[in-house]
Structure 1
């Protein structure tokens, strides 16, 4: 029997060789979607059998062959342009021509899109787990360090005293929005393109909703061309991951700077020493977290450039698009996990932070506010404190400046005790109790909402994980009925 009669190849000789075969192949990088392809194949075959497009005994043979392919593993696949062709070839090798019925009523175009979406869902949820872990670490720091005063900076210059808790919650807030973006990306990724075929649908009576349900998708991408061609879900996912990476990069930069000033002591597990200078403790892991933003933004740039200007329906350019998404999910998730560990294990030296909290007259804004609260125009108060900052950061300097600017002594303008309190970093922070401010009570109020938001997002992510696991179990149960 000839190879053609045996049905053990997917393509004829005309398209099976030549110098460009290896260039066309994506098989080396397809291990990531091996399990996804098997799941998509199984769901498609079950649907074909239920719709009477293939016979039950034929479906049983194909599904049994897919079990054998899975047991043999990715490395045992025959050569092919990609994992999809290789799996189909392996099935045909095991059961003969009937294996070719597996590809009835679909194209590699909708198959590929379904596999990418199927696998990306897990990667997005894993990224969300990492973000939630970092948010929990920051919330724990905020709870423990609500009264730990520290210097706050703008332009890397001492600006106003704040607290470690307030700093931590500033990043938690951004990460909360990052999590929302990832959840949105997940929900738009979680739609099935299967059944769209090459781009114009199929003549077979397929049930697209059934395969979507078997694979745990929330619905279908209705338009067949949109289903096969669109990759906006990739762009949205990488954009959301890039935002996480940029947030983590800023967090890492702060911690590197704080470590330089002696404001934080990183655990040894998140630092290293020099190969030549034994006294060094370098925040190396956080420097790599900081650099990951470049990887993520670069992935977004590469992906957007690949997708730009493609004609509608499927183009082979899309084969080069997906690798950028896998890189971004891996780099960003790992970097976020490292950041979470570094934050959770760091020590905040309260004495050193308190000593630095008032440096360079960083309580000046509080003094100006105290003068303005006593009835002076804020611009006059600003002028007085600016003049005082040239000579010192004490009551005498403020009094001299008040006389210079207004012709009146400080005691004639305001109770000096109010100014004295505003000059103290701890008291200055305590006075800033507006919503979102650094005062310990304001931070504790904010923390209650933060913890509620984290819990809500944990529930949302857990529900999505559970839905995927339930779909896997349901598909396995359906496949088992054909054994």
Structure 2
């Protein structure tokens, strides 16, 4: 049964029929379509288009359909219909007869499909909130256990200044908080019902869209029907947020891949999330992290895809918009799955604290501290920077840390250096001095952990 067949004398070519169909994608919206159809039947009852008996029969039949698809999710895919809306209407008519044909009064697939998609997106955003929160919890637990685990921080993948593993965890918590903020902001714009806008210009039937929106669980109703049926800003926005979120997970993955390498040996990944080599028995590969890193490309790709699809479309609805769902479903599913996998990875890593400390000690990460020491002794920073660079070269030549150079050697580079310099060059001293808000000092890290713990449910 086609919803538009009366105008046509010939049947569709089978190739076009298959090409035009979206059922293999939008079947995922069946619960939302049934839920929205029940709400619409109540709106038709309030408008005296349906009698109480008719509405009750329709609602009962739709609930039966819902139970059927919950029992067999692939039930819809056994059909050769055009889309999920056609399937629901046909099955409804099969159950209640001609009464079912009244349901579409005043409603278009244009406002129907965007309503269904918005309802699906609302549910998915709530799932994403939970997954992000769980990953935050994993980062928080590790940070609490590793406040004193000193490791090198990097710029340009070169050891730069000492940090702690807890400080590294807190950086990713900040990223996840921004992801949550973006989702909350998007949810506010998403939570507006387009149902009742018809094809593009509204409906001529007496539909109370405010009550309808409330029945659907939306905060309010849209204000312009022409915009409502053609609006896919929420798809772009969620695709953008997912892309940013996946970039965060990709950077996290890259960090852990590097930390897990034998060259770093800062962490050991669990056997649960790694695999081996088919030819090299000694290998233990970080496959889960590499897959997260690669899947980010597919999510980012959909963002570009939907932007290009929508950029040249005139108002209002165009069939091009059928291409919004496949990529959106995949992007949000992928992001959620990668969040779950990242949590599993974090919950099962072992941190090699002694190796982290050794790497920080051998990285000349205290060179900035030596330059600052010379500034306190009266030198201009540029001169102090140059002298420190020369001292680092000497330490590299002798293969010792800066703090192991003899005072007499240090004085050959600058006579202002005294025995008190060694107190400045310890890793603990360096960390302690970074006590500005957001800094790496033990005090600031503990303060940050306390705040994250206190505000955990805020995000």
Alignment TM-score, normalising by the size of structure 2? 0.92
1:164 Cα deviation from its structure 2 partner: 0.3
2:89 maps to what in 1? Answer: 88
1:43 Cα deviation from its structure 2 partner: 0.4
Map 1:204-353 to 2 at 5 A. 204-260=205-261, 261-353=264-356
SS at match of 1:152: strand
How many residue pairs align between the two structures?
443
Q: Which runs of 5+ in 1 are unaligned?
A: 1-7, 458-483
TM-superposition CA deviations, 1:342-367 (whole Å, max 9, x none): 11221111111111112231110122
2:403 maps to what in 1? Answer: 394
Deviates more, 1:387-396 or 1:350-359: 387-396
1:383 Cα deviation from its structure 2 partner: 1.8
2:51 maps to what in 1? Answer: 55
The answer as to whether partners of 2:2 and 2:81 remain within 8 angstroms in 1 is no
1:448 maps to what in 2? Answer: 450
Map 1:67-216 to 2 at 5 A. 67-73=63-69, 75-77=74-76, 78-216=79-217
SS at match of 1:389: helix
The answer as to whether partners of 1:385 and 1:401 remain within 8 angstroms in 2 is no
C-alpha distance in 1, partners of 2:186/2:161?
A: 38
1:115 Cα deviation from its structure 2 partner: 0.1
1:128 Cα deviation from its structure 2 partner: 1.8
1:338 Cα deviation from its structure 2 partner: 0.9
1:94 Cα deviation from its structure 2 partner: 2.1
C-alpha distance in 1, partners of 2:74/2:4?
A: 21
1:395 Cα deviation from its structure 2 partner: 6.1
Residues 398 and 176 of structure 1, relative CA distance in 2, 3 Å threshold: farther
2:13 maps to what in 1? Answer: 18
Deviates more, 1:142-151 or 1:373-382: 373-382
Deviates more, 1:197-206 or 1:340-349: 340-349
Residues 344 and 375 of structure 1, relative CA distance in 2, 3 Å threshold: farther
SS at match of 1:274: coil
2:369 maps to what in 1? Answer: 366
RMSD value over aligned CA atoms? 1.8
TM-superposition CA deviations, 1:370-406 (whole Å, max 9, x none): 22234432222212211111101236477646544x5
TM-superposition CA deviations, 1:435-464 (whole Å, max 9, x none): 11111111001112222332211xxxxxxx
1:108 Cα deviation from its structure 2 partner: 0.5
Residues 16 and 120 of structure 1, relative CA distance in 2, 3 Å threshold: farther
1:150 Cα deviation from its structure 2 partner: 0.4
SS at match of 1:273: coil
2:398 maps to what in 1? Answer: none
1:12 Cα deviation from its structure 2 partner: 3.3
C-alpha distance in 1, partners of 2:321/2:411?
A: 69
1:132 Cα deviation from its structure 2 partner: 1.2
Residues 129 and 365 of structure 1, relative CA distance in 2, 3 Å threshold: same
Of 42, 49, 55, 1:46 maps to: 42
The answer as to whether partners of 2:2 and 2:86 remain within 8 angstroms in 1 is no
The answer as to whether partners of 1:149 and 1:163 remain within 8 angstroms in 2 is yes
Residues 57 and 384 of structure 1, relative CA distance in 2, 3 Å threshold: same
Deviates more, 1:431-440 or 1:152-161: 431-440
C-alpha distance in 2, partners of 1:431/1:325?
A: 47
Deviates more, 1:92-101 or 1:372-381: 372-381
C-alpha distance in 2, partners of 1:120/1:190?
A: 10
1:227 Cα deviation from its structure 2 partner: 1.1
SS at match of 2:154: strand
Deviates more, 1:10-19 or 1:346-355: 10-19
1:36 partnered with 2:29: no
Residues 384 and 399 of structure 1, relative CA distance in 2, 3 Å threshold: farther
1:469 maps to what in 2? Answer: none
The answer as to whether partners of 1:134 and 1:340 remain within 8 angstroms in 2 is yes
1:426 Cα deviation from its structure 2 partner: 2.9
SS at match of 1:449: helix
C-alpha distance in 2, partners of 1:128/1:178?
A: 9
1:31 Cα deviation from its structure 2 partner: 2.3
2:431 maps to what in 1? Answer: 429
Highest RCO, 1 vs 2 (Cα 8 Å, sep ≥ 6): 1
Deviates more, 1:360-369 or 1:188-197: 360-369
C-alpha distance in 2, partners of 1:17/1:70?
A: 30
TM-superposition CA deviations, 1:253-287 (whole Å, max 9, x none): 00000001100111211212222222222111011
1:217 Cα deviation from its structure 2 partner: 0.8
C-alpha distance in 1, partners of 2:416/2:230?
A: 75
